[in-house]
Structures are given as C-alpha cells and as structure tokens.
Amino acid sequence: MKGLILSGGHGTRLRPLTYSQQKQLIPVANKSILFYCIEDLISSGIREIGIIVGPNKEQIMEAVNAVQWEAKITFICQDAPKGLAHAVKISKDFLGNEKFIMYLGDNLLMGGSSSFVSEFAKSGADASLLLTEVANPEHYGLALVDEQKKVIVKLLEKPKNPPTNLSIVGIYGLTPLIFKAIDNINPSWRDELEITDALQWLIENGYTVKFKRVEGWWKDTGRPEDILDANRLVLDELKPENSGEVIKSEVKGKVIIGAGSIIKDGSVIKGPVIIGKKCVISGSCIGPYTSIGDGSIITNTEIEGSIIMERANIISSGRIVNSLMGKNVSIEKDDALPKGKKFVIGDNSWVRL
C-alpha cells in the first residue's frame, strides 16, 4: 500500500507560530510532528508516501528532503485548503487503483498504526477508521458503531448533543471506492469536500466501513495546549542519553542531552527533558516535561512544561511555565517580576521583561 500524509492548511489555531512556519513542522520532543507520521507509515511497511503540501510548501519539502527516508517521497501541491476529500481527489494519479492509508500530518498516535494498517490490508473492508473515546465529543467528528459487526453505521460532524464519545482519529484506511464517493458529494458549508461526507456516502450505499479502537493515546495537535500535552506524553517515553557535558550541575530522571551541549553553573535538569545539540544551560532549572531546541542558550531561568524551539536566547527570565516558543526567540529580564509567566511566541520574536 501507499501512504498519503496531509501537510497543508493554514494552522490558524496555532498563530502566531504558523505565520512563519507550517504547523506540521512544530517539534514535539525536538522532532517535527510530520516526521512522526512519516516514521509511523514506514514502520507499518509502507514504502511510497505522498505528502500534500500547501502554504509554506517550500519549508515542508526542504525539511523532508533533508532526511534519508526508507521510502520514496512524492509531494502533491494543493492550491487551497479545500478539504480532506479534495486532497484525496487530487492524489488519484499517485495513489492508483490500490488500498492506501491517509494520515493527517498533525496527528500523533502512541504505539503507531502498524496493527491498524496490517488489519486493513488483509480485510475486505471498503474503508476502515481508527476511533477513540474523548472527553469533549462535541468538538470532534464522531462515529456511531455496531460493536458486534465491527462496522460504522453513521458519521457525525461535531454534533451539539453527541450520542457517542467515539471520535474519528486522523488515520484512515481507504480503497479506490473513495474516489467514487467523493465524486458524489457536494462541498460543505465551509466550501470544502469533507472526507466524513464521502465515508457517509459509502455507508449509505451499502459499502462496509469498519473500525478499530485506539489502544494507547492519540493527539490532534491543532492548538498550543494540544502540542504541549503531546510533548509531555512523548517525553514520558524517553530513554536517557547524555552526549553533552555536565559541569557542577545535577541531572535527575529521564533526560537526553545532545552532542556539544553544556550544562553548567549549578543548573538542575529534572526529567523528563530533552535538550538539543550545542545548547548552553547555565545557572538554570529545566523541567520536568520540557524540550529545548538545538543551539539554545538558557541562563539563570526556570522553565517547566514548555517547548522552546531552536536558537532561543533566554536570560534571567524568572520562571516560565507551559509555554510554546518559536525559533530564534530572545527573552531578557532587567528587573524582578512575578513568577509564572506564560507565552506563545512566534519565530524571530524579541522580548524584554
């Protein structure tokens, strides 16, 4: 089978970060979210992957092409975000006449999708979805299911009074029948071709849409708080590794320190934490649940539960918690201020406190 990853869209819920970078390239535990998706498909045995690109497509292409993947990568340009079904439709020539896996490029799935992919490959289903229970179902696309037959009987898009809490996860097993379904639906009120409408067409016309429940956690990283949650979940699974240098400082718990990084001057690192390459951490307390990008300098500052991207320069900034900061951010402090500052800061920002 082939894989199709959707990595377009404007990422409006993540602005200002997404004014300057594509949302799927935002890092979780110092790795782009998109890379987790590519690795998952490759681990599932897929060796041909198409990536839908839109705004900031050059960023996506440059980042992906910088890695030697064990798969052939093809980029497919979507001129505007016209819906998931539209993305499938324009990929018809790439996908051909075989089953395929569609993967939303801002989704993270604990344990990966290999069992789902394997089961779908062997099944006679016309489509198959991953489902998971959610606490706020009114915010998600939902599925009403027949548990005995393991089939979906109806799909609902963010209903006001949800009859179920089974949410659709952004990983789909599809067959060429989906193209017929897409040709038979109309754009939604958003003027987009919705994949849920195409799948509902299959159900209503007697085709079999099966499902599998997610066994671990799943995250749709569409908002800053979702990305921070995903960062915590991924960091919980860290295996400690120190390729840097620790001088008169303390490292506790599960911590990764990248090559060329220096932890010095009485710093305390409380895992789980990942610190990238060529960082300098001096007189600071980092963690738990914090990711520090490559080339960052952190001095006399406390950071907890946060994602700090590459080349940050944070000096004497008190206590920073639950924050998401873009690349090349500079934060300085002149006078003491109350603790507990919270930021969502875009790339190339400069802040004086």
Question: Which residue shows structure tokens 């620790």?
Answer: 246
User: What pLDDT does residue 55 have?
Assistant: 75
With vertex at residue 144, the alpha carbon angle to CA 139 and CA 146, rounded to the nearest 5 degrees, is 155
The H-or-E segment that residue 278 falls in is none
For residue 350, the tally of other CB atoms under 10 A from its CB is 11
What is the set of domains in the chain, with CATH numbers? 2-227 (3.90.550.10), 241-352 (2.160.10.10)
Give dist(CA 46, CA 82) in Å, integer.
26
Cβ proximity of 34 and 63 under 8 Å: yes
Q: What is the mean pLDDT of each run of 10 residues along the chain (353 residues)?
A: 83 58 81 92 94 85 92 90 89 94 88 89 92 84 86 85 88 95 89 89 94 83 81 91 95 96 96 96 95 96 94 91 87 66 68 68
Question: Residue 132's beta-bridge partner residues?
Answer: 167
CA neighbor of 5 nearest in space, from 141, 340, 63, 294: 63
Cβ proximity of 214 and 169 under 8 Å: yes
CA neighbor of 80 nearest in space, from 101, 62, 61, 57: 57
Give dist(CA 353, CA 344) in Å, integer.
15
Give dist(CA 297, CA 199) in Å, integer.
49
Integer-rounded Cα radius of gyration of the chain:
22
For 19-64, what is each residue's pLDDT tens digit?
566 677 788 899 998 999 999 999 999 999 999 998 778 888 999 9
* Prediction pTM value: 0.87
Give dist(CA 97, CA 335) in Å, integer.
65
Cβ proximity of 233 and 250 under 8 Å: no
User: What pLDDT does residue 97 have?
Assistant: 92
Helices (H), the chain: 17-20, 33-43, 57-65, 84-89, 92-95, 114-122, 177-183, 195-204, 224-235
